[in-house]
Structure 1
Amino acid sequence: MRYSLLAGGKRVRPMLCIAACELVGGDPLTAMPAACAVEMIHTMSLMHDDLPCMDNDDFRRGKPTNHIVYGEDVAVLAGDALLSFSFEHIATATEGVSSDRILRAIGELAKCIGSEGLVAGQVVDICSEGADVGLDHLEFIHLHKTAALLEGSVVLGAIMGGGSDEEIEKLRKFARSIGLLFQVVDDILDVTKSSEELGKTAGKDLVADKTTYPKLLGIEKSREFAEKLNKEAQEQLLEFDQLKAAPLIALANYIAYREN
């Protein structure tokens, strides 16, 4: 569990969680357990995604993948343990937040990673390998596989920070756009960067015959789509205090213009 969780990574999801909490006027410490939880879940999803039965990858965050070091059996169990601990941590370590809000946050997180969220995206992604997939189909995959947990990260922060229903929904739309943006940029990087630059195996989507945004749209149109998603995301923040919104704007730009 420690090997993969503490291996590095961008920590985008916990930062989004904390920034959303601050945006709605909350104390960032109240969102810290939720921020840690979403990183645990993200790490679990990578550990399982890298398994031979899934993407079969040997390299993650610049290090050998969990199953290469500890074996497939332990990698599966370590991922399961991180998933369980994420919910325990929110339930037991969150302070200064009403039980109603903690319960709402746990329900939100469970939904965004389950059969209506991350798992749904993963299943459709697996079933679509080698198939003729259109843009709507590809968007379904990535709104669930990638965007759902990013959405959950932002929404959890807003819930923990005491945000109103209206504020939470604006942030949900923001997160959905940057979630799709994250994947579009990932697809572009997969075909334009080396494994050393990415910290993971480059070109694996091409080898697996997966449909990606560059494959459907080409590189330039994919970059234009990324710009559009970034603009749409930031429009959701216009009615908030712009000083408090600055971290979320910076994170959206980071996702849009990152190099790995």
Structure 2
Amino acid sequence: MVQEAADRRAVIAANLQVVRERVAAACKAAGRSPDEVRIIAVTKNHPASDVRILAELGMVDVGENRDQEAAPKAAECGDIDLNWHFVGQLQRNKAASVVGYAHVVHSVDRGRLVEALAARSRAAGRELNCLVQVNLDPDSEQGVIGPRGGADPADVPDLAKAIAEAEGIVLGGVMAVAPRGADPRAAFDRLYEVAAVVRSRYPRATAISAGMSGDLEAAVERGATHLRIGTALLGDRAAIVG
């Protein structure tokens, strides 16, 4: 077991070094500082022991997609000073649980979810950072939430306004996932345009959460401030048990 843990740490450390080098190279090509880009380690389907390894290697931002996995994992790692990011689609009935551990929710895509998160944050005496998830699927109809979630770009200003005016939550910026099979640069260009509109009205809402293992260079080139990296850090893994 000791050797297995050491081997796992070596793999993650090597992967993290590669990711950091990719980000640095992308920032150099884009004329940006690496300090402008935060790497979020998405630990979906990976155990809490991997979170601990990442923390030992200097990572402080951890992302999760599902509350049923995130809540117990965050509790197990409660002795570590981490920033937990909820990055998956979120149902209103999970709002209370997510507010209990998350510092940032990247996937706010409808008004009723805004209301639920704000109410639960107020009840918990917390202030939750919220990003508006933008649907970049060119085939989606206005107002229709796609398979990965997200508000239609035309609806983002109103949703941003709702977050900014709600007590208990703070508007942090925007998030999106590049549509499958599409040019990520074109998608992230569109996200940057939406982000600029939001930022023009709410100057502190500067976060642009975009880019994953396969398209992080395109995201950095197009202004991403937060990258959600899973596979490139931790590899593939079947769903954890328990």
- Higher helix share goes to which structure? 1
Fold in common (TM above 0.5): no
Relative to the length of structure 2, the TM-score reads 0.29
- Higher strand share goes to which structure? 2
The structure showing larger relative contact order (alpha-carbon pairs under 8 Å, at least 6 residues apart) is: 1
